[in-house]
């Protein structure tokens, strides 16, 4: 398995740099070193220019979220658009909290994301275990089904799925009395349950579990352990990287979900942040507050990404190219 390790340079000595052994070299070596140094300078220049291209909208967003509207529009013409100068305050943030129930939106998103990722880890790893390490009738059939579903993009089933969930049975409380009803629209479960099982997660778990020696299972079975115990006590603890990969790969889409909640959640107090954002954006054009809102929902993801940057990147790389 190949992963794009991000820290190749932090730990290994710099092969482009001057090495004591080479320093005594002749003119050719010196020319070569000079060439290499020039090439490196150009690389830094190109990479820095690109860094500006990739960062400027986000810097602009964070900086603008601190400014009053008039100043945002006035600063657009100069480099001041990217500098926290002038009339800086947190007023826009207070404004956002006053105008819409952001706290509730954030809570909804956290709840939906945590449950989707958490339940997904349990359900998909169990399925991966059964598919990779156990013999049972229909195993190959289920495995083919799982792999076949990998090709279905969510956009294909979104419309029929709305129709489908609007017909599913559910239990609602009416004045404290549970009542049988139909329709999952405007619930939490409609935002979570359809995304727990994930064919790609099952596939990753199956792949990873089949690399762990099966002799471990045999030994545990001789000691009288059941299959669930083997899964929970032996295989799962050895599969940390697989769990991390699946958690990271399912966290982002769960937090960033947009199309689905847009269609199935109309009730304001059940909305996740992205859909709340869209409503907020449509009802008001105070750009400062819009920027404050977008900063507010971007910051948590950026913090998570930057702190787990290495795991993040290797997960994404592992999802794409494996050998």
Partner 1 sequence: MTTPTSAPATGAGAASHPLPPRRRGAGRARRHEGRSGLAMVLPALVLLVLFLVVPVMLAFGLSFTNARLISPNPPRFVGLDNFVRAFTADPVFLRSTVNTFVFALVVVPVQAGLGLLLAVLVNQKIRGVTAFRVIYFIPVVTSIVVVSILWKFMYQENGLVNSFIDTLTFGAWQGTAWLNDPSTALGAIIVLSIWQAVGFHMLIWLSGLQTIPEELYEAARMDGATPWQQFTNVTWPGLRSTMVFVLVTITIAALGLFVQVDVMTQGGPVNSTSTLVYHAVRKGYREMETGYGATISLIFFVLVLVIALVQRFLTRDKD
Q: Binding string, 256-295, against partner 1, x = CB under 8 A?
A: x-xx--xx----------x--xx--x-----x--x---x-
Could you tell me how many residues of this chain bind partner 1 (CB under 8 A)?
A: 122
224-to-134, 157, 160 alpha-carbon distances in Å: 16, 45, 47
> What is the rounded CA–CA span in Å between residue 228 and residue 206?
16
Among 107, 158, 244, 286, binds partner 1 (CB under 8 A): 158
Site for partner 1 in 206-225 (CB under 8 A): 206-207, 210-211, 214-215, 218, 221
Cβ 240 to partner 1, closest distance in Å?
Answer: 19
51 binds partner 1 (CB under 8 A): yes
Which residue stretch of 91-99, 173-181, 237-245, 296-304 sits at the interface with partner 1 (rule: CB under 8 A)?
296-304
Report, in angstroms and rounded to the nearest whole number, the Rg of the chain calculated over CA atoms.
Answer: 26
Q: Taking the complex as a whole, how short is the minimal distance between the CB of residue 291 and partner 1, in angstroms?
A: 8
* 306 counts as binding partner 1 under rule CB under 8 A: yes
Q: Which stretch binds partner 1 (CB under 8 A): 21-29, 87-95, 98-106, 142-150?
A: 142-150
Candidates 22-30, 88-96, 97-105, 137-145 — which segment interacts with partner 1 by CB under 8 A?
137-145
Identify the residue among 83, 148, 172, 219 touching partner 1 (CB under 8 A). Answer: 148
Query: What's the sign of the alpha-carbon dihedral 56, 62, 67, 73?
Result: positive
CB of 11 to partner 1, least distance (A): 10
Look up tokens 């294909």; give the residue.
Answer: 156
x/- binding map, residues 222-261, to partner 1, per CB under 8 A?
----xxx--x--------------------x--xx-xx--
Angle (deg, nearest 10), helices 199-209 and 139-149: 130
Touching partner 1, residues 64-103 (CB under 8 A):
73, 76-77, 81
Q: Which of 136, 153, 147 is nearest to 201 (CA)?
A: 147
In 92-233, the DSSP E strands lie at 169-174, 177-182
DSSP per-residue letters across 103-136 = HHHHHHHHHHHHHHHHHHHHHHHHHHHHHHH---
Cα pseudo-dihedral 40, 45, 49, 54, rounded to 10:
30
Interacting span for partner 1 (CB under 8 A) from 21-29, 94-102, 188-196, 238-246 = 188-196
CB of 9 vs partner 1, minimal distance in Å: 5
Q: What residues pair up with 233 in beta bridges, in sequence order? A: none
Other C-beta atoms within 10 Å of 71: how many? 18
């Amino acid at each position: 398995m190949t992963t794009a390790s991000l820290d190749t340079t932090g730990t290994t000595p710099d092969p482009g740099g001057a090495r004591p052994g080479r320093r005594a070299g002749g003119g050719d070596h010196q020319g070569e070193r000079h060439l290499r140094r020039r090439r490196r300078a150009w690389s830094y220049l190109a990479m820095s220019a690109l860094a500006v291209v990739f960062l400027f909208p986000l810097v602009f967003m964070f900086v603008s979220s601190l400014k009053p509207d008039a100043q945002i529009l006035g600063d657009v013409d100069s480099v001041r658009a990217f500098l926290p100068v002038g009339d800086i305050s947190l007023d826009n943030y207070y404004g956002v909290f006053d105008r819409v129930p952001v706290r509730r939106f954030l809570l909804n998103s956290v709840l939906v994301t945590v449950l989707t990722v958490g339940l997904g880890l349990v359900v998909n790893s169990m399925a991966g275990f059964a598919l990779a390490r156990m013999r049972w009738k229909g195993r190959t059939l289920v495995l083919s089904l799982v792999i076949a579903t990998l090709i279905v993009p969510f956009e294909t089933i979104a419309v029929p799925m709305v129709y489908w969930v609007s017909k599913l049975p559910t239990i609602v409380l009416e004045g404290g009395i549970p009542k049988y009803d139909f329709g999952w629209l405007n619930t939490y479960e409609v935002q979570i349950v359809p995304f727990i099982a994930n064919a790609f997660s099952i596939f990753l778990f199956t792949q990873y579990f089949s690399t762990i020696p099966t002799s471990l299972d045999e030994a545990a079975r001789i000691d009288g352990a059941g299959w669930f115990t083997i899964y929970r006590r032996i295989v799962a603890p050895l599969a940390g990287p697989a769990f991390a990969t699946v958690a990271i790969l399912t966290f982002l889409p769960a937090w960033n979900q947009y199309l689905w909640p847009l269609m199935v959640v109309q009730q304001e107090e059940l909305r996740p942040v992205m859909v709340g954002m869209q409503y907020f954006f449509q009802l008001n054009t105070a750009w400062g507050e819009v920027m404050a809102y977008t900063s507010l929902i971007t910051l948590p993801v950026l913090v998570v990404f930057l702190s787990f940057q290495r795991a993040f990147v290797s997960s994404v790389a592992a999802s794409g190219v494996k050998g």
